[in-house]
Amino acid sequence: MAHPIIIATFAVYFIIVIGIGIWSSRSQNNIKDFFLAGREMGPIVVAFSSCATIASGFFFVGLPGLSYNLGYQPMLSIPVLNAILAYVIVYGLLAKPMRYLSEQHGALTIPDLFLTLYEDKKVRWVCSVVILIGIVAYMVSQWVAMGLMFQTLLGSTYTVGLIVGVVIVGFYSTLGGQKGNIYNDAFQMVVMCLGGILVIVFGFKAVGGFTQMNLSLAQVKPEMLLPFSDNFGLSKWAFISFFLLYAVGTVGQPQFTTRFYTIKKIDMLRWAPAIAATTYVIITLFVFTGMIYRAAVVQGTVQPLTNPDLAVTQFLVAFMPSGGAGLILAAAVAAIMSTVSTFIVVAASTVTRDIIEQGMGKQLSDKKGLLYSRISTVLLCVITVFIAIKPPDLVAWLGNAAFGFFAAGLGPALVAGIRWRRANKQGALLSIVTGGGLALILYFMKVTGKIAPKLDTGAIAFLISIAVLIIVSLLTPYQHRKALPQKKYTSDQIIT
Amino acid sequence: MFGLPTVTFVSLFVIWPLWLFLCFLYGILYKEGRDDEWHIL
């Protein structure tokens, strides 16, 4: 069982999180409120939320663990040099048009937008299926991370830890919908930023400062101070893969892009990427925990870790006062919660809006729509938690492959649908099927040892998906898509 | 500097702030109004 101060910090954190959920539930009257937070969100909460959603359990547990083993390489290759670019790329390419098209054409979900862009129900169906597969896998992997975290915190079994976490997130997501989710994300982002700052203050003090930490790491291996290396750790191919997936491939992440629908006015998007990227820089400081701990091992003040994923928890034990440790643990839990709660709302919206309402043609009143959304939320939590109690290998693999799966499956079709007039429904359909399918197949071949590509399998699928979209669109007839801003065409350009 | 090789020093103290600046540049270059217009290839 954790220190009473840590438990108290957590109790306060949970009361605030649940309170925001209850408060948000008051303004839930229909599915538009539930999925889009009534389109009344301001730029700061949307920016904070888009940052919190991207920073998952991997960011706060996996990356420090990798940094313990590989020094600067994971930090430079992922958040510092690549992932931060996602904010300017995704906002620059998609934010304004997505927000405009969503309001103009009544698109409430990503599959809705695909229907608006390509005017084809098959594209919408395939998109819905991709979102549900990816999100279920993603949710399970986040539940597992949360269960382990609560297990450490409460000194309970994994299952009890898992159920405590799920009840809290499920409660505020079911009650508060997207609004509760976004405000909670924003609050959790503040907690994560405080965690990032505290880590730097106490960590560098413990190892004698920034320079001393670097000198200690160099004693282990000089390559630990490089962004990538062919002799040790991450290769340049890994670096290129991270660029393709985390900088560019974020365009296909529905948990990120659905944020654009919720902002009150289009022009409020103006400073959102700057705010989001600034907070992302602050939370990136958290990754130093792994390097600081490794430097302390070299200096002989702490024992080496048996499992690198324990870098954060052992860092807290070794270097932090109890209150600060509670806050940093809360930050790590916040990272997982904010990601998984967004998935819950996106998945519930896909089930209610795209499958029940649009797919099955069932007309839902405001009250019924809201009820169905909440039932979908609860059902998704229950189903994914049952899988997470003893996750099969297949689901764990899917969770690991999910980022690449979304990038390759949805990214090219979404960007081309908005930014390339020549893209058509045939190209989009084949790109989604080929990209999503290849991301999974190549990943399974890799983990079963059948192939060993230098580039990440998700990145390969992403590139192939782009190529398929371009080639198929050019080889098939031009589709005049009404949702795009109009321009004058010559008669030979318009075939359909 | 700070015991870091040049490439890492440049990554942390030049490129990282530069990427952050790009996000601010989005805001600086943003044109308000004209919601129904965007660049399309």
The DSSP code sequence of A8-56 is: HHHHHHHHHHHHHHHHHHTT--SHHHHHHGGG-B-HHHHHHHHHHHHS-
Average pLDDT over residues A346-353: 86
Non-local (6+) Cβ contacts of A254 within 8 A are A110, A131, A134, A135, A346, A406, A410
| A76/B11 touch (CB, cutoff 8 Å), yes or no | yes
For B26-35, the CB contacts below 8 A with 24+ separation are B26/A88, B26/A91, B26/A92, B26/A270, B26/A273, B26/A274, B27/A270, B27/A271, B27/A273, B27/A274, B30/A267, B30/A269, B30/A270, B32/A267, B32/A270, B33/A267, B35/A96, B35/A100, B35/A266, B35/A267
Q: How close is the nearest chain B Cα to the Cα of A264, in Å?
A: 13
- The string over A118-137, giving b where at least 16 C-beta atoms fall within 10 Å of a residue's C-beta and e elsewhere, is bbbebbbbbbbbbbbbbbbb
Instruction: Say if B24 is an interface residue toward chain A (CB within 8 Å).
Output: yes
| B35/A96 touch (CB, cutoff 8 Å), yes or no | yes
A44 domain-assigned: yes
Q: What range does the domain containing A202 cover?
A: 4-391
The pLDDT of residue A320 is above 90:
no
The whole-number pLDDT of residue A395 equals 64
| B8/A421 touch (CB, cutoff 8 Å), yes or no | no
A317 domain-assigned: yes
Predicted TM-score (pTM) of this structure: 0.90
Low-confidence winner among A357-371, A479-493, B21-35 (lowest mean pLDDT):
A479-493
| B8/A227 touch (CB, cutoff 8 Å), yes or no | yes
The whole-number pLDDT of residue A492 equals 53
The whole-number pLDDT of residue A116 equals 94
Q: Which residues of B touch A281 (CB under 8 A)?
A: 16, 20
Low-confidence winner among A7-11, A86-90, A301-305, A429-433 (lowest mean pLDDT):
A7-11
CATH value at residue A94: 1.20.1730.10
The pLDDT of residue A136 is above 90:
no
Angle A202-A76-A225 from CA coordinates, rounded to 5°: 75
The pLDDT of residue A454 is above 80:
yes
Average pLDDT over residues A219-243: 93
Backbone CA torsion sign across A23, A372, A384, A458: negative
A193 domain-assigned: yes
| A270/B20 touch (CB, cutoff 8 Å), yes or no | no
Instruction: Say if B30 is an interface residue toward chain A (CB within 8 Å).
Output: yes
The whole-number pLDDT of residue A495 equals 45
Q: Which residues of B touch A274 (CB under 8 A)?
A: 20, 23-24, 26-27
Low-confidence winner among A63-77, A101-115, A327-341, A457-471 (lowest mean pLDDT):
A327-341
- The string over A357-378, giving b where at least 16 C-beta atoms fall within 10 Å of a residue's C-beta and e elsewhere, is bbbeeeebeeebbbebbbebbe
| A273/B26 touch (CB, cutoff 8 Å), yes or no | yes
Share of chain A above pLDDT 70, in %: 96
The whole-number pLDDT of residue A367 equals 83
The whole-number pLDDT of residue A365 equals 83
The whole-number pLDDT of residue A496 equals 41
Average pLDDT over residues A254-263: 89
C-alpha A152 chain-centroid distance: 24
The whole-number pLDDT of residue A2 equals 67
The whole-number pLDDT of residue A170 equals 85
Nearest CA in chain B to A47: B23
The whole-number pLDDT of residue A118 equals 96
Residue A259 binned pLDDT confidence (cut-offs 50, 70, 90): confident
Q: What 3 state SS string does A434-461 have?
A: HHHHHHHHHHHHHHCCCCCCCCCHHHHH
The pLDDT of residue A218 is above 90:
yes
A422 domain-assigned: no
Average pLDDT taken over every residue of chain A: 88
The pLDDT of residue A96 is above 60:
yes
A452 domain-assigned: no
A281 domain-assigned: yes
A268 domain-assigned: yes
Nearest CA in chain B to A281: B20
Q: Which of A84, A226, A420 sits opposite B41 (nearest CB)?
A: A420
Q: Which residues of B touch A269 (CB under 8 A)?
A: 30
Q: What secondary structure letter does DSSP report for A484? A: S
Q: Which of B11, B26, B37 sits opposite A92 (nearest CB)?
A: B26
The whole-number pLDDT of residue A364 equals 80
Nearest CA in chain B to A78: B16
Q: How close is the nearest chain A Cα to the Cα of B14, in Å?
A: 10
The whole-number pLDDT of residue A107 equals 87
Number of domains in chain A: 1
Identify the residue among B1, B16, B19 best suited for mutation to test binding to A, counting A beta carbons within 10 A and taking the highest: B19
Q: Which of B3, B5, B22 sits opposite A88 (nearest CB)?
A: B22
A28 domain-assigned: yes
Q: Are A316 and A328 in contact (CB under 8 A)?
A: yes
The listed range with the strongest mean pLDDT (A1-15, A134-148, A278-292) is: A278-292
Strands annotated E in A184-302: none
Instruction: Say if B33 is an interface residue toward chain A (CB within 8 Å).
Output: yes
More confident residue, B23 or A328: B23
Share of chain A above pLDDT 90, in %: 45
Two tokens at B35? 């919601």
The pLDDT of residue A335 is above 80:
no
